[in-house]
Chain A
Amino acid sequence: MSISRLGRGGGKHRPCGNFVRLERLAAVALCAMIALAPVAVAKTLKVATVSPDGSAWMKVLREAGEEVQAATEGRVKLRYYPGGTQGDDTSVLRRMRAGQLHGGVLLTSAFSNIYGDLQAYNLPMIFRDLAEVDAVREKLDPVINAGFREHGFVSFGLAEVGMAYPMSTKRARTVEEARRLKVWIPQGDVGSARILEAFGIPPIPLPISEVLAGLQTGLIDAVTSPPVAALPLLWHTRLKYVLDLPLVYIYGTFVVSARSLRGIPEDDLATLERIMGEAVARVDRVNRADHDAARRTLEEQGLEFIALTAQEEAEWREYAAAAARNWVAKDVVSEGVYRQVAERLADVRASAH
């Protein structure tokens, strides 16, 4: 049920009834005005995510949902479908278009064909560390979030997943050595394919559920993954090496379709955006702590972090820079947004020296 029972104005009590009987003109006029005003209808926003129930994400989102409901006196409610019960990110987007769902907590890759600029931070190796991420996001997040509206979505903000590192069962340091590995990408993931293509590494697409077995049998011998994903999927039990080279920044967003917000009074809309914006920001901070903890855990579990020499790293960066130019040339990311990211990075790096 996307629209539940009438909120104020519905139900058995009809306070205007007695006034009308008194035949007091003013009262009648007042009641008429109330009747003509748009009836505030309770709106339930149905939101899906692959995050499991009980995860940090879900705890924060549920609290925020209750806060929205209380602050809008029940006129806006959020109903969550966690744990991927509505399918993967692509299915959630499809259901949003069909109006079966109103929102989703999705990774950026889901939007690769819809809103390219959302992937501005996904450019290979664009950030050298998380401090650079923070400096750029502080300036650019508002631009990226605002851009969603042109595509019919409202975003409550971006939330970090973390840096994805190349992880493997065999030792590899150079681009040349990496090309000899059998590197997994998620089946159907255009963004991941594009990243590997940047380095001339042939990808092996497989469903994510087959990765652990694939690492065991040797069908694949490398993945590129954020530490927070590698651990729950138990990939750390097969992997031996982590190339200490943040290859790509992974993040998600909480969006709702603009259409689903129609009919919500402006005040309530502002309340919804404020509370949900704060919730996503909170998740963003929690996820940073998780990312650092998960990276430490990988080390504690005995995976060897391979540090590159300046020369080796420069070679990887050369390929990455060429790929960024190529992405912009093909308009995967618009030149305008890319330039803003690059300029901000140049400022940060200049002030660091």
Chain B
Amino acid sequence: MKALVHGRVAAAIALGVALGGCANLVGRVTSDLAADLSATILDSDDPALVRDGAPAYLILLDALLRDGGANADLLRGAASLNGAYATAFVADEARARAFSDKAFDFALRAACLDIAWMCDVRRLSFDELERRIQGLGTGDVPVAYALATAWAGWIQARSDDYSAIADLGRVKPLMARVLELDEAYDHGGPHLYMGVFETVIPPAVGGRPELGRQHFERAQAIAGGRHLMAKLLLAENYARMVFDRELHDRALREVLAADIRAPGLTLMNAIAQQQAQALLESADEYF
């Protein structure tokens, strides 16, 4: 009996050592795998396949990052996939919050590895934060963008939590700086997010949705008209807010008629088409 226990311990230690020795290799391979998988997923034209298939990969990423993984690229990949998956496929609010928590945690860990002050990005005074943000350069765009998008998703999943709402005051200037440095990053993604930020508050209580419209249109222009999510958000966030049914229906019909295939945008475009149909169907109820 005693020998058996010893044997198991020895085997466990051996396995542990073996895994430890492989860590670097695993890290490199998984980084590449994460990048390849992200690209494949984003180019998929079958949302149902991604919805059913991606969870296994998300669990694998969790496992790889379980013990405080220190690979910034892998962390960012995991953040982006968790966030995107939740936004696209998770309707249950509690689960969406859990996904966004994980995505934000990964993104924050990644940012902290690459840019030291970002470890404190949630605690810095607003003046200090602004100074730091202004100090970011073009090379920092991937880090800052990944953090800002995961953070925005985290806030979105907590729209009735005031401490999350307060964080919008940190995310917005961060995304604005990314936009300033590289507005075309991620097919105009910075404009997409700024568009959403500007269409949160109705004009009657201080919002400036016209700025939102300009951002959505600029994202569309950058992507050569292939960014259907930008057009969808123009309808859903802007046209509904300013009560412009004509623009709403026109934009959605254009989304439905468009070819979804575009490198890096296909999956998002397919999801945009699904949502466009639902929005058109509920238009009579809304307007």
Q: Contact residues of A with B, CB < 8 Å? A: 50, 52-56, 81, 83-89, 207-209, 211, 227-229, 231-234, 236-238, 290, 293-294, 296-298, 300-302
Contact = CB atoms under 8 A, between A and B. Distances in A.
Contacts of B126: 236-238, 302
Given A52-B201, A290-B162, A300-B163, A233 B206 contact: yes
Q: Give the residue among B125, B173, B201, B243 with the most A Cβ atoms within 10 A.
A: B201
B236 to A, nearest CB: 10
B162 A297 contact: yes
B10 interface: no
B172 interface: yes
Contact of A231 (B165, B207, B208, B241): B165
Contacts of A211: 206
A209 B162 contact: no
Interface residues of B, number: 26
A86 B12 CA distance: 68
B169 interface: yes
Nearest to A87: B204
A208 B168 CA distance: 18
22 contacts: A50-B204, A56-B160, A83-B240, A85-B202, A87-B204, A208-B205, A227-B162, A232-B165, A233-B201, A233-B205, A234-B168, A234-B172, A236-B126, A236-B169, A237-B173, A238-B126, A293-B162, A293-B163, A294-B162, A297-B163, A297-B165, A302-B126
A50 B203 CA distance: 9
Contacts of A88: 204-205
Contacts of A293: 161-163
Interface string B171-209: 011000000000000000000000000001111111110
A231 B201 contact: no
Given A52-B200, A232-B200, A302-B125, A84 B205 contact: yes
A290 B158 CA distance: 13
B9 interface: no
A259 B92 CA distance: 41
